[in-house]
Amino acid sequence: MHIVFASHQDPGAWLPALREALPGHTITVWNPQAPPTGAEGAVVWQPPAELFEHERNLKILFNLGAGVDAILRMPQLPSGIRIARLEDAGMAVQIAEYAVYALLRIARGFGVYERDQAAGRWQPQPGLLRRLWPVGVLGLGSVGERVARVLAALDFPVAGWSRSRRAIEGVQCMAGADELPAFLARTRVLVNVLPLTDATRGILNRRTLSQLLPDACLINVGRGAHLVEQDLLDLLDEGRLAGAALDVFEHEPLPPGHRFWSDPRVHITPHIAGTTLRDEAVESVARQVGQYARGEPVSGIVERARGY
Ligand code: GLV
């Protein structure tokens, strides 16, 4: 089949790898100036709206990212088009790594040691008592499951919460709106890896975050719009929350002058927790294209009504 590549990423870095992984398919860079190609598939990341007006034969999009919230919000997205999202593709392990880093930075006081070094101070912190650091993973898809398993393997008490019930060995799995209060009430470090949907937008707010254990911390690697940023700042100021590690923001790049830049209780990174790795992503797309071309069910397909 014919597949167009429509992404602001440099096609030079992607086309040879996609062509090599998909012999027998035609892969070209989408060119809005040229006549439509009639392509049936498109490999996309944040595609421009004109793609859908120009290439009217598109049946399926292969998204070069795990999150599809931005695409699903596009009013120009044709209703019948299918979307396959990146399946793991090295994303889960990176995000698990980030969660470990952020949790240990807080729980073992590595952030304190950074400040101590700058001040020339030698001051060991008390040892880590894991039972005082119950972790709650919000979202138990493939990424959340990996995060929960990795943290449980480090002997932290781990619970996970998801829309529908999951079973993960060594992790207390809770589900549905009814169990959210109990999940929050036993959690000191909340790791958010939910997909952004109408049901999860703003889920990290004063009401939910103030149900966490005292001295709680938030690690947000989902989407900026999950968090009501002002509520977090207020809860930090009130001493209700102790800190936050944030990789995603309502506006990215984080605007200059935003309080997160200078607040010592907030540790920020520029949306790098899970980056798209080219070789792994190409492998995932090639698998999905193969399934689609053979008329098989495509893995990682998005349920549009559900939002992920
Ligand atoms: C990154 O945020 C992604 O959705 O892949």
What element of type H or E holds 152? helix 142-153
Residues 231-255: tens digit of each pLDDT = 999 999 999 999 999 999 999 999 9
Neighbours of 277 (CB within 10 A): 16
Residue at token pair 């007006």: 53
Name the average pLDDT for the chain.
Answer: 97
Spot the catalytic one: 2, 201, 240, 271: 271
Neighbours of 305 (CB within 10 A): 6
Phi/psi of residue 307, nearest 5 degrees: 95, 10
Residue 271 falls in the annotated catalytic set: yes
Please indicate whether residue 222, judged by its CB atom, sits closer than 6 Å to ligand 1.
no
Pocket probe mutation, ligand 1, options 7, 45, 46, 276, max atoms within 8 Å of Cβ: 276
For ligand 1, the distance from its centroid to the CA atom of residue 275, given in whole angstroms, is 7
Reply yes or no on whether the pLDDT at 9 is more than 90.
no
Q: What is the pTM of this model?
A: 0.95
Residue 278 falls in the annotated catalytic set: no
Residues 163-208: tens digit of each pLDDT = 999 999 999 999 999 999 999 999 999 999 999 999 999 999 999 9
For 278, the token pair is 């080219």
pLDDT of residue 18: 98
> Which regions of the chain does DSSP assign to beta strands (E)?
2-7, 26-29, 41-45, 60-63, 82-84, 135-138, 158-162, 172-175, 189-192, 216-220, 241-246, 266-268
Nearest-10 Cα torsion for 248, 280, 136, 198: 60
- Average pLDDT of the segment spanning 97-107: 97
> Are 116 and 123 spatial neighbours (Cβ–Cβ below 8 Å)?
yes
For ligand 1, the distance from its centroid to the CA atom of residue 193, given in whole angstroms, is 11
Q: Whose CA is nearest to atom 4 of ligand 1?
A: 67
